[in-house]
Structure 1
Amino acid sequence: MIGLKNWKRWAIFGLLGLCLSWLISCGNSPPETGKAKDPEGKATIEFWTMQLQPKFTDYFNGLIAAFEKENPAIAVRWVDVPWTAMQSKILAAVSSKTAPDVVNLNPDFAAQLAGRNAWLDLTDKVAPEVQSEYLPNIWKASTLNGKTFGIPWYLTSRIAIYNSDLFQKAGIAAPPKTYAELATVAKTMKEKTGKYAFFVTAAPGDSGEILESLVQMGVKLIDAQGRAAFNTPEGKAAFQYWADLYQQKLLPPEMTTEGHRHSVELYQSGQTALMSSSPEFLGNIATDAPDIAKVSVAAPQITGSTGKKNVAVMNVVVPKDTNKPDAAVKFALFLTNPENQLSFAKAANVLPSTTASLKDPYFNKVAADATPIDKARAVSAGQMKAAEVLIPTIKDIKSLQKILYENLQAVMLQQKTTEQALKEAEQAWNQEYASN
């Protein structure tokens, strides 16, 4: 059972694991939540989203009207909840059996409640031919122990954003594609310009980017039984990779204490030449650091020997205690069907999770005069074939991240050998796993 303190820590997990709604939202407060009463002759379902009003009010009002026209026996009450309040509200609602009928969450948090049997099992509720409309790797992100607990909705996939001016000054012709190339770039960049190539945080409670990099480098984090699987030659090589860069002073020393926000500050001030983010971040750079924006170029996400690319997913779930499961599933599938996904992806500048939607020219045809964000979107969409949710869908993933990051830091600071750190991390995780 996860304690309240651990639940709160999930609010800051990973820029891309949890920031999708933040990237496309505004901050108005929602109406009071609570079960709606059924009008005569209709079944009312309640639908919660995360901070999508007022920017998308017209979109959702139109979508709901279209659904109700097709399904005259069903009414939909839409409730928009602030990003910072969603997790506490849905946890309280599930605990008190007053949850809405359809909820917009991310798979990481949804998986924690799935581990408590909070969601309706959709495995047999969604026909195989409908399941096949979604990207296979993305569909798997909403499964736990062989059961489907959610339906994929919208996506983002990290790209590399690099400062072409600094790359030119360093004599580097192209951005790195792999972590092996990144190490070479980091050395050259420091020698030629005095700048760091990039920043990534190893602070235990922050971004999961390093955790994802381990998977991209071929590390298996846990086995089929949930026990540690990272104490391997691949795990040793990955730990040593980050430790070497740190000890060679090719990474900012504050990476052990500062979070992802520091990465943004360093890049926008011209102190680093590269950062990992979503395409929409180019818009933020244009506003906050226009001079840096002029020399910022999008490139594919850096990966390891596996070629795997990160993707962050938003899904919709149906609480197990709903008294209108069929109506709820019908609306969830309507919300996430290819046509509606394409419409929302264009409106919100995100990626759809359905194969048919991604084939639209909007995601793969780039005009010569396209904006930087348009070019970045095409780069991001082009990664979807190799993209997957890299971090395992387990209820206590944050504990695993903390154990690995703390031991990685110990190697960086030369407090432990790589072998010692991996062995102690393995023991710590297996002990925690055994106690759950």
Structure 2
Amino acid sequence: MRKKAKLISLLFIIAFVLIVSACGKEETKEDGNKQNDDSKEEITLEFWTMQLKPTFTDYIEGVIADFEKENPNIKIDWLDVPAADLDKKILSAVSTDSAPDVVNLNPTFASQLAQLDALVNMEEAVADEDKDKYVKGAWEANRIKDITFAIPWYLSTEVTLNNKQIFEEAGLDIKNPPSTFEEAREASEIIKEKTGKYGYFPSLDLSLVLQHMVVNGAELTNEDGTKAAFNSKEGLEMFEYFTELYKEELIPKEALTGDQRETIDMYQAGQVAFFAGSQFISQIKENAPDIYKNTVPSEAITGNSGKKTMSVQNVVVPKQTKHEKAAVQFALFLTNAENQLEFSKLTPILPSSLEALEDPYFTEAPEGAEASDLVRITSAAQLEDAELLVPPMENYDELRQSMYDAISESMLGKLSPQEALDKAEQEWNEILSK
């Protein structure tokens, strides 16, 4: 009953959005306002970001001031929205024909709006010479059904953080940290035996189960996304791998039952030797300076595929904007090489601009390099092999939850790995057939 109610609710929202969108298109044809950006009449663009205040207030306001100076007829009205509220707020705005002109969204949620035909297609709105300025994998991360629904803004790749002190206590060489799932298991066994601590903390929070499956070589769906494809040798290996680690107590129980905050807490407390946590390096430096000094970054742990994950934050332009040309112009300005390089120097992120990535800041470690410097260099070096491992998919939240539930039942011993995988496959096929 709950699934049925959810489906009815979603269908109602989709229908409402499409009706509003259609009305908006009809009005645009009549009054011509939507494309009337060539005039010098003063216009205001509403710009939403995701939880950037107060840390980056000066930066964003500086970018806005520079843009307004170059475009005196365009004013930017900036609203920063808490991350937990953004999805609901933008969906509500689109549903009531009050969407902002430019919004910072992640690919997963942006793709849902794209499926409602609510976002400008950047393949049509952006010139080829501008498209070529971005990392190819980042641009392609924003495609669904031949529509490019966003411009990539900032990126990250997964970097492993290793506690040198624990490695030394276990007699392991910090210069050769684990780089594969199997090496992670072997190191965890030695660390547990020698120190009583955990070696590996592979969080299974959010989309991470799906990412681990792809890293090990499993395909999530068939080519047209209509059927599950992960019930394979590679998929079963992943279910068996995590189930064995959990049962043998080689990973903390929080890997399954907690979230990524549990991971960082245990690493900062010196209870875990290595984990994928480069996004937390600034937090570690502030909260656990002794652990930070002993942290040695290394490339992401991978599986049979050799793939590494890329995370992408985007900028989208809702179709409801009356100033599409100006909105796309501001999105391109926000994500240009100069602005992205400046932003990247304020926080541990990577630019999606190819020109910005050529800066020595991302290619050369400074004298006396700290862990944060090495995270940046390592992360940037992986971009060539990195991609958005879990592409935008319809009914993504249901699919993700189904996979998590299945691997949980395997790890907790309620089902065998194969039975759990079979269950996930059946559920995915039902969801994908909707």
Q: Same fold (TM over 0.5)?
A: yes
Query: 2:197 — aligned with what?
Result: 195
Answer yes or no: is the 8 Å Cα contact 2:44–2:75 preserved in 1.
yes
Pick closer, same or farther for the CA change 1:194–1:391 going to 2, 3 Å: same
SS across alignment from 1:347: coil
Query: 1:48 — aligned with what?
Result: 48
Q: Residue 415 of structure 1 aligns to which amino acid in structure 2?
A: K
Query: 1:118 — aligned with what?
Result: 118
Q: Residue 288 of structure 2 aligns to which amino acid in structure 1?
A: A
Q: Residue 339 of structure 1 aligns to which amino acid in structure 2?
A: E
Pick closer, same or farther for the CA change 1:136–1:285 going to 2, 3 Å: same
Deviation digits for residues 216-235 of structure 1 (CA, Å, limit 9, x no counterpart): 11011112222201011111
Q: Residue 103 of structure 2 aligns to which amino acid in structure 1?
A: V
Q: Aligned partners of 1:371 and 1:190: how far apart in 2? A: 28
Residues 383-402 of structure 1 aligned to structure 2 (within 5 Å): 383-402=382-401
Pick closer, same or farther for the CA change 1:4–1:422 going to 2, 3 Å: closer
Answer yes or no: is the 8 Å Cα contact 1:152–1:313 preserved in 2.
yes
Pick closer, same or farther for the CA change 1:386–1:194 going to 2, 3 Å: same
Deviation digits for residues 232-284 of structure 1 (CA, Å, limit 9, x no counterpart): 111111211111222222122343322222111211111111121125x2222
The answer to which of 407-416 and 107-116 deviates more is 407-416
Answer yes or no: is the 8 Å Cα contact 1:113–1:395 preserved in 2.
no
SS across alignment from 1:297: strand
Q: Aligned partners of 1:273 and 1:61: how far apart in 2? A: 40
Q: Aligned partners of 1:48 and 1:101: how far apart in 2? A: 8
Residues 298-377 of structure 1 aligned to structure 2 (within 5 Å): 298-377=297-376
Query: 1:64 — aligned with what?
Result: 64
Q: What is the deviation of 1:97?
A: 0.9
Answer yes or no: is the 8 Å Cα contact 2:184–2:200 preserved in 1.
no
Answer yes or no: is the 8 Å Cα contact 1:135–1:353 preserved in 2.
yes
Pick closer, same or farther for the CA change 1:348–1:201 going to 2, 3 Å: closer
Query: 2:259 — aligned with what?
Result: 259
Answer yes or no: is the 8 Å Cα contact 2:40–2:73 preserved in 1.
no
Unaligned runs of 5+ in 1: 8-37
Q: Aligned partners of 2:62 and 2:8: how far apart in 1? A: 39
SS across alignment from 1:423: helix
Pick closer, same or farther for the CA change 1:299–1:61 going to 2, 3 Å: same
Q: Aligned partners of 2:290 and 2:282: how far apart in 1? A: 13
Answer yes or no: is the 8 Å Cα contact 1:201–1:257 preserved in 2.
no
Q: Aligned partners of 1:155 and 1:60: how far apart in 2? A: 17
Answer yes or no: is the 8 Å Cα contact 2:137–2:386 preserved in 1.
yes
Q: Aligned partners of 1:56 and 1:408: how far apart in 2? A: 38
Query: 1:91 — aligned with what?
Result: 91
Q: What is the deviation of 1:4?
A: 10
Deviation digits for residues 341-387 of structure 1 (CA, Å, limit 9, x no counterpart): 11222233321001111110011111231222112111111111111
Query: 1:426 — aligned with what?
Result: 425
Unaligned runs of 5+ in 2: 11-36
SS across alignment from 1:93: helix
Answer yes or no: is the 8 Å Cα contact 1:200–1:260 preserved in 2.
no
SS across alignment from 2:345: helix
Moved over 4 A (4+): 1-7
Q: What is the deviation of 1:83?
A: 2.3
Pick closer, same or farther for the CA change 1:127–1:209 going to 2, 3 Å: same
The answer to which of 393-402 and 151-160 deviates more is 393-402
Identity of paired residues, percent?
43
Q: Aligned partners of 1:328 and 1:130: how far apart in 2? A: 15
Query: Does residue 157 in structure 1 map to residue 157 in structure 2?
Result: yes
Deviation digits for residues 97-122 of structure 1 (CA, Å, limit 9, x no counterpart): 10010001111111122122211112
Q: Aligned partners of 1:423 and 1:275: how far apart in 2? A: 29
Query: 1:101 — aligned with what?
Result: 101
Query: 1:234 — aligned with what?
Result: 234
Query: 2:403 — aligned with what?
Result: 404
SS across alignment from 2:222: coil
Q: Aligned partners of 1:256 and 1:378: how far apart in 2? A: 30
Query: Does residue 176 in structure 1 map to residue 178 in structure 2?
Result: yes
Q: What is the deviation of 1:150?
A: 0.3
Q: Aligned partners of 1:330 and 1:282: how far apart in 2? A: 34
Q: Aligned partners of 2:325 and 2:415: how far apart in 1? A: 55
Q: Aligned partners of 2:277 and 2:7: how far apart in 1? A: 30
Q: Aligned partners of 2:185 and 2:278: how far apart in 1? A: 22
Q: Residue 197 of structure 2 aligns to which amino acid in structure 1?
A: K
Query: 1:413 — aligned with what?
Result: 412
Q: What is the deviation of 1:151?
A: 0.2
Query: 1:141 — aligned with what?
Result: 141
Deviation digits for residues 15-45 of structure 1 (CA, Å, limit 9, x no counterpart): xxxxxxxxxxxxxxxxxxxxxxx99921221
Q: Aligned partners of 2:5 and 2:121: how far apart in 1? A: 21
Q: What is the deviation of 1:211?
A: 2.0
The answer to which of 414-423 and 318-327 deviates more is 414-423
Answer yes or no: is the 8 Å Cα contact 2:206–2:400 preserved in 1.
no
SS across alignment from 1:313: strand
Q: Aligned partners of 1:305 and 1:110: how far apart in 2? A: 30
Task: Provide the aligned C-alpha RMSD in A.
Answer: 2.3
Q: Residue 221 of structure 2 aligns to which amino acid in structure 1?
A: I
Q: Aligned partners of 2:224 and 2:8: how far apart in 1? A: 26
Q: Aligned partners of 2:392 and 2:190: how far apart in 1? A: 38
Q: Tell me the TM-score normalized by structure 1.
A: 0.87
Query: 1:270 — aligned with what?
Result: 270
